Chain A
Amino acid sequence: MVSAMKEAVGRVAFDLKRQSVRDLNQFLHGDLSEVREVVVENPDGAHSLAVGVNAPVHVEICGHAGYYAAGMNKEATVQVRGNAGPGVAENMMSGHVEVGGFASGGAGASAHGGLLVIRGDAGLRCGISLKGADIVVGGDVGSFSAFMAQAGRMVVCGDAGDGLGDSLYEAVIYVRGKVRSLGADARLEPMKDEDHGAVRALLAAAGIAHSSAEFKRIASARALYHWNADANQTY
């Protein structure tokens, strides 16, 4: 991008006061073989920052992001040095997305792979429809988190709201704090060795220090996997 300021080899800065989100994303979809790092200044809560990136580049968003930051990310490392709006890292396939502050609703929605780290709290429906990605939340998660989560793991270092893990498939949730209520078909299960290992590895990847012994495991009771009259299914 001609207008992008090349400060040093491999480092490109975008100032969203003067450049558009379109410019940023178009650049991120181009040939990034020479680019190591893209810095986004003055993001000012703009939507769709660094979406559809398909390369192992490092993107730093210096401030708050709006909806869908790092949406559909593949391979890239995206850091939001602020809060993120709804759907951060939605449908991520791989890579690493980190939110320094809080994340709004639907964080990591339907993400297939990669790691999403939220240092603060996450809002409603964190990890909804999760399809294989890992999510680590340093604080609390809102209600209806991991709704219909199909695969992947979610580690919550704080508390969880109502209806956690409603209609879970094969995703597994680890919670350190209190769970206000579990959703339909979600149940507490004993922590096994592999669970401790998983929690330790995910916390290490996120750079958060807690003991895995403080976490409990929540997974699907699998009672809704097949229709039958006596399960009183409401759908």
Chain B
Amino acid sequence: MPTRLTDEPPAHLQLEESASFDRHIIHYIQRAAATGLYEIRGLGAKRRVPHFDDLVFLGASLSRYPLEGYREKCSSETVLGTRFAKRPVKLDIPITIAGMSFGALSANVKEALGRAATEMGTSTTTGDGGMTAEERRSSKTLVYQCLPSRYGFNPDDLRKADAIEVVIGQGAKPGGGGMLLGQKVSPRVAAMRTLPEGVDQRSASRHPDWTGPDDLAIKIKELREITDWQTPIYVKVGATRVFHDVKLAVHAGADVVVVDGMQGGTAATQWAFIEHVGIPSLAAVRQAVDALEDLNKKEEVQLIVSGGIRTGADVAKALALGADAVSIGQGVLVALGCNSNSYVQDGEQVSAAADYHKLGTAAGFCHHCQTGQCPVGVTTQDPILEQRLQPAVGARRVRNYLKTLNMELTMIARACGKQDVHHLEREDLVALTIEAAAIAGVPLAGTTWIPGRN
């Protein structure tokens, strides 16, 4: 049994750490014993899982012809919802902003996201708390979620939506309902959700008016009837049995399927849910594409992948594997300042270190969105803290982030010889690990071996 030592302990101490009962687990058990409650936290799975990092692109060389980086055009236009909707969503970039609720986020953040997305020609998404006027005003293309809780859900906002996303589940907690702890249920949040102020809100995990895929088909038809078949309907699933779920969503009549992997974030969810339920995005995208190809619907139904998309390379890999677009939540929060040491007030950097400390954490490690005490004003309803994120500053940072991702994406696409980012293909990828090769269904680098497939 190898012995793991902490940094330079005195030689006479016996410090043999258990692999099964390491300090992390000991802390977990002692916390459970002290409180009798599970830990609830924010963000997504923190453990290492097979990911897009385990893939690399085969750029063009002799066998393929690259595009000139700065001169030859590479399109990133993306159209979603071409199957049944009369008014598909047209975006300039295949990178969208994931659903995050007003309640989890402040109104300032929602406004910043809307402004950034509008500038970049992409969409934002409401969340488990309804549509705010700020968000509708600032976001040119707004996706309206229909969630099990139906908080604030109403036909006027439905008619104002550019797309509707029926949320079956999310990657951080497939099979679980929403949660918002009392400290974030401010008067405005409570009113929008028809809840008592300050209540520890737990919302339903099943929709109130349908159960199962056959009902979902009827529900989707109802939403189409209400919106006169104009508005695209997305169906979002948390990544679990992706192959079957995507097929069922397609059978139910979805225009677009959104698959959210286990790295996808949350504002507040039980720890064990985040880390132990669901599969990684890499596995999800491949299974989703397999399902669409199996049904011969790849050209008809669009696929959006989310959960742990951080870089332009991640976007490019998701597209190469067969996604039509990606959706980003946590990356966008980080762009806004999440886990940054400081925040910007009227052009000045102000340290947030003491506030991270108050939460018992530090910049770089924080996952305390559930407290509502976000040190940088992103995930809060506190009237003082929320001022730390000024919409103009946030909008600029998110725009810059999205711009960077899209530049990286088109750079990679050109290097692979594509005039359109949607021409990236599986054949452009190889895997660095056997796991990733098996999961993504691409050859292990330097070989022709796809474990489990040939």
How far, in whole Å, are A112 and B149 apart by their CA atoms in the complex?
Answer: 12
How far, in whole Å, are A41 and B29 apart by their CA atoms in the complex?
Answer: 65
Which stretch in A5-13, A84-92, A191-199 binds the other chain?
A84-92
Contact assessment for A169 and B195 in the assembled complex, using a CB-CB cutoff below 8 Å: yes
Which of A25, A54, A110, A169 is in CB contact (< 8 Å) with B225?
Answer: A25
Distance in angstroms from A169 CB to nearest chain B CB is 6
Q: Which chain B residues lie closer than 8 Å to A22 at the CB level?
A: 225, 229
Q: Which chain A residues lie closer than 8 Å to B449 at the CB level?
A: none
A72-B155 contact, Cβ under 8 Å, with A52-B227, A91-B150, A226-B199: yes
Residues from 95 to 151 in A contacting B, C-beta threshold 8 Å: 106, 109-110, 112, 125, 128-129, 131-132, 147-148, 150-151
Q: Which chain A residues lie closer than 8 Å to B227 at the CB level?
A: 52
How far, in whole Å, are A151 and B199 apart by their CA atoms in the complex?
Answer: 14
Contact assessment for B37 and A112 in the assembled complex, using a CB-CB cutoff below 8 Å: no
Residue of B nearest to A125 (CB): B208
B27 in contact (CB, < 8 A)? no
A2 in contact (CB, < 8 A)? no
Distance in angstroms from A190 CB to nearest chain B CB is 21
How far, in whole Å, are A54 and B150 apart by their CA atoms in the complex?
Answer: 19
Which stretch in B76-84, B216-224, B285-293, B388-396 binds the other chain?
B216-224
Which stretch in A156-164, A173-181, A211-219, A227-235 binds the other chain?
A227-235
Binary interface profile of B, 208-235, with partner A (CB < 8 Å = 1, else 0)? 1110000100110110011111000000
A106-B208 contact, Cβ under 8 Å, with A47-B218, A91-B154, A93-B155: yes
Q: Which chain A residues lie closer than 8 Å to B193 at the CB level?
A: 150
A74-B221 contact, Cβ under 8 Å, with A25-B228, A125-B208, A131-B194: no
How far, in whole Å, are A6 and B229 apart by their CA atoms in the complex?
Answer: 26
Q: Which chain B residues lie closer than 8 Å to A125 at the CB level?
A: 208
* Residues of A in contact, count (CB < 8 Å): 43
Contact assessment for A225 and B196 in the assembled complex, using a CB-CB cutoff below 8 Å: yes
A sample of 22 cross-chain residue pairs with beta-carbon separation below 8 angstroms, ordered by A number, consists of A52-B155, A67-B215, A67-B222, A71-B222, A86-B215, A87-B210, A87-B222, A90-B209, A93-B155, A106-B210, A110-B153, A125-B208, A128-B209, A129-B149, A129-B204, A129-B208, A150-B194, A170-B196, A225-B199, A226-B199, A229-B35, A229-B36
Among B196, B199, B208, B226: residue with most chain A CB under 10 A: B208
B451 in contact (CB, < 8 A)? no
A19 in contact (CB, < 8 A)? no
How far, in whole Å, are A21 and B209 apart by their CA atoms in the complex?
Answer: 20
Residues from 52 to 91 in A contacting B, C-beta threshold 8 Å: 52, 54, 66-68, 71-72, 74, 86-87, 90-91
Q: Which chain B residues lie closer than 8 Å to A36 at the CB level?
A: none
Q: Which chain B residues lie closer than 8 Å to A170 at the CB level?
A: 196
A29-B154 contact, Cβ under 8 Å, with A106-B208, A109-B209: no
How far, in whole Å, are A169 and B156 apart by their CA atoms in the complex?
Answer: 25
Distance in angstroms from A58 CB to nearest chain B CB is 19
Residues from 413 to 427 in B contacting A, C-beta threshold 8 Å: none
B252 in contact (CB, < 8 A)? no
How far, in whole Å, are A29 and B159 apart by their CA atoms in the complex?
Answer: 11
How far, in whole Å, are A52 and B157 apart by their CA atoms in the complex?
Answer: 12
Contact assessment for B221 and A47 in the assembled complex, using a CB-CB cutoff below 8 Å: yes
B241 in contact (CB, < 8 A)? no
Q: Which chain B residues lie closer than 8 Å to A91 at the CB level?
A: 150, 153-155, 209
B182 in contact (CB, < 8 A)? yes
A51-B222 contact, Cβ under 8 Å, with A110-B208, A229-B37: yes
